[in-house]
Chains A and B, each alone.
Chain A
Amino acid sequence: DTEVTQTPKHLVMGMTNKKSLKCEQHMGHRAMYWYKQKAKKPPELMFVYSYEKLSINESVPSRFSPECPNSSLLNLHLHALQPEDSALYLCASSLTGTGEKLFFGSGTQLSVL
């Protein structure tokens, strides 16, 4: 299995809602990532987990809360988002995280109303 699976594929939420994005991989990878991608722009790194510990937080607002329950799962909890947070949220994984290629999921297209 060489896939990174993200759910849901699409999400529409209001600014007062709480929702979660989910990501799963069964490749035995020990590094997992959240990227944000706006239309016609490159992916921007948000968070990195290495061996289930948060290694990097790229100064992401606290309304985004990552969680790594185990080595195969990665969640992104969303609360009180703003319309400008509308974007494609991509999950990725890599074997250990240091200087390696990333395997991406297809993303969750998020719209905040």
Chain B
Amino acid sequence: DTGVSQDPRHKITKRGQNVTFRCDPISEHNRLYWYRQTLGQGPEFLTYFQNEAQLEKSRLLSDRFSAERPKGSFSTLEIQRTEQGDSAMYLCASSLRADDTGELFFGEGSRLTVL
């Protein structure tokens, strides 16, 4: 399978714990995006990378959130000191094109439940 891969698919954690999600984009895709989606809402942009450079961060991304894409390949999204409001589906997407018109290919998502 050469699609976008996310791990873990599901994560249940207690409030205050740290969690980390991993995304492996489609090979050779330059851009990698993180979105968050809650029930009944569309995906909300969190951050994106062009190769290894993090080019934009949403105001939604508080100081508790950090994302990396070392070497421009896979990416990790870490949430520190989780809160119940962090419960959501975290979607990773990648895009081949280096401009803003490309199609996004989404992974199956990592669902986070904070108790």
A binds B: no
Residues of chain B at the chain A interface (Cβ within 8 Å) = none
Residues in A lying within 8 Å of B, measured CB to CB: none
